[in-house]
Amino acid sequence: MEYFDKYRFEGDPVLLDEIAREMVPLVPPGTEVLAGLEMGGIPVVTALGRHAGLPCAFVRKQAKPYGTCRLAEGADVEGRRVLVVEDVVTSGGQIVLSTADLRGLGAQVQEALCVIDREQGGADALAAEGIGLLSLLTAADLRAAAV
């Protein structure tokens, strides 16, 4: 199994900024809110929102029992077209769970966007839930670049 240290690009402001700039053309027309998933999707969605000029929601794996007690913080998602943003997709499991939660809050979610699709079944798992996967890079792209 290949290990990819995703925090290397998430923690590098110059690289993260460049990644976000390259992701903007992948944002589907009509998107109203970018929803970053805890934890890796948060830096990506913040940088992407800056470049795309779109508001961001920050999606927890589960709502905290104190404070606002909300599952999605930041921009309101109810009745809006929301693009789920994640750093790396492997199985797609967290996107499936978070999309169900967002849809439960009234969000219209049709796609998810990630920096890297590891090509390990995530796209198929998402398609089964009516979610199209868009990616900036794939595992094959990274292997080809490493040669």
Binding residues for 5-phospho-alpha-D-ribose 1-diphosphate: 60-61, 64, 86-94
Alpha-carbon distances of 39 from 30, 46, 58, 135, 140, rounded to whole Å: 25, 12, 9, 18, 24
Binding residues for orotate: 90, 118
- Going by the annotation, the residues of the binding site are 60-61, 64, 86-94, 118
In three-state secondary structure terms, 20 is: helix
Determine the length of the chain.
147
Q: Which residues have CB under 8 Å from 129's CB, separation 6+? A: 96, 99, 100
